[in-house]
Amino acid sequence: MGKRLRRGRSICCCVSPRSSSHSSSSFLPCYEEDLWIEIAKYLDGKSLVMLAATCHWFKRIMMEECVWKYACLRDLQVPDPRKVAFEWIKLYATTFDGSHSFMFRQQEKHIDWMRIGAFFFDSSEAFLTEKLIYPSRLVRNENLEKVLQSLGSCVLRNIKNGIWIADLQLVRCPVCDQNTCDGTMQIVDVRHIELFLSEGYQDGSWDYEQIGHHDIKKHADGASGGIFDIKHLKDATTSELFNLKSWVGQPKDWQPKAMITLHAVAVNTNLQDNEGLHIKYHVMRAGADGEVVSIRISQQLI
């Protein structure tokens, strides 16, 4: 997040120097719009709103699209997607106002969550896996359910390009269909940055569909999951996610751990004695045959 600008005194003038009846020579220095837009690059979202509330002139300057676009890309540390369907101030708000997917649906099943960060889909294909091991081969099969059931990983097509937000959710197991489980389950939950503003999501016409599942019928050391942009699967930064010893924590560290790079995200939670895991994969599409706009990997103890 950007640091707040330190200033020696409060801003008391609510009139732009350009529109003042006084000569510009009486203002030293003369604060031009371009200068304040440049200053805005060092302010976080809260500071931008506070400054915009001081007067109409600052409100007009601080509401410029370029200001909020810069703030969003800076704070998320992602590339410019070039084209977005909504105003940047709205994208910033739905990203940083504490919203997550279970606030819109199934609130009664939600327990806790944490924001992992943001990554970027440069291609339209994703590699989904519950095993954080670099794949020896990528299986591109139309029958995703069959592939997931046998391998625990798959290639998912028609991904919406651009910025994606990654969260880790903790929910109650009634979400699942395992009668023997009365505990909780974790969900790797990623979504396109525009999802919460989309009409299809807001009116409930877009929903999650299960595309497959995978069972581990023996003790599992950890509940892991990863989502990767296939185009960048061989990148040096992406390969760091497969080096589990560098980030998953010690064996008796039960706190969830997550790692995110420019084009991938992965999580791992070390587990105590268990009899295995049941993993489900869900996606949300922008309409029946639309692009994939959200992905979930849920994991529960058997």
In the chain, domain spans = 17-95, 101-301
Residue type, 3: K
Strand partners, 281: 212, 297
What's the pLDDT score for residue 28? Answer: 33
d(CA 165, CA 170): 17
CA 219 to chain centre: 30
- State the residue for tokens 């732009």: 16
What's the pLDDT score for residue 269? Answer: 94
d(CA 264, CA 262): 6
Token code pair at residue 267: 């999580």
Residue type, 53: A
- Burial of residue 124, with CB atoms counted within 10 A of its CB: 0-12 exposed, 13-18 middle, 19 or more buried: middle
Q: Which residues, in sequence order, are CB contacts of 22 under 8 Å at separation 6+?
A: none
What's the pLDDT score for residue 15? Answer: 36
d(CA 52, CA 197): 23
What's the pLDDT score for residue 140? Answer: 85
- State the residue for tokens 């302010």: 43
**Helices in 155-245 by DSSP H: which ranges?**
199-202, 236-239
The H or E element spanning position 144 is helix 144-151
Strand partners, 126: 156, 229
Kindly report the pTM of this predicted structure. Answer: 0.84
What's the pLDDT score for residue 24? Answer: 40
What's the pLDDT score for residue 52? Answer: 86
Name the stretches of the chain with pLDDT < 70: 1-31, 174-183
For the chain, the first-to-last Cα distance in angstroms comes to 40
Domain made up of 17-95: CATH architecture: Up-down Bundle (1.20)
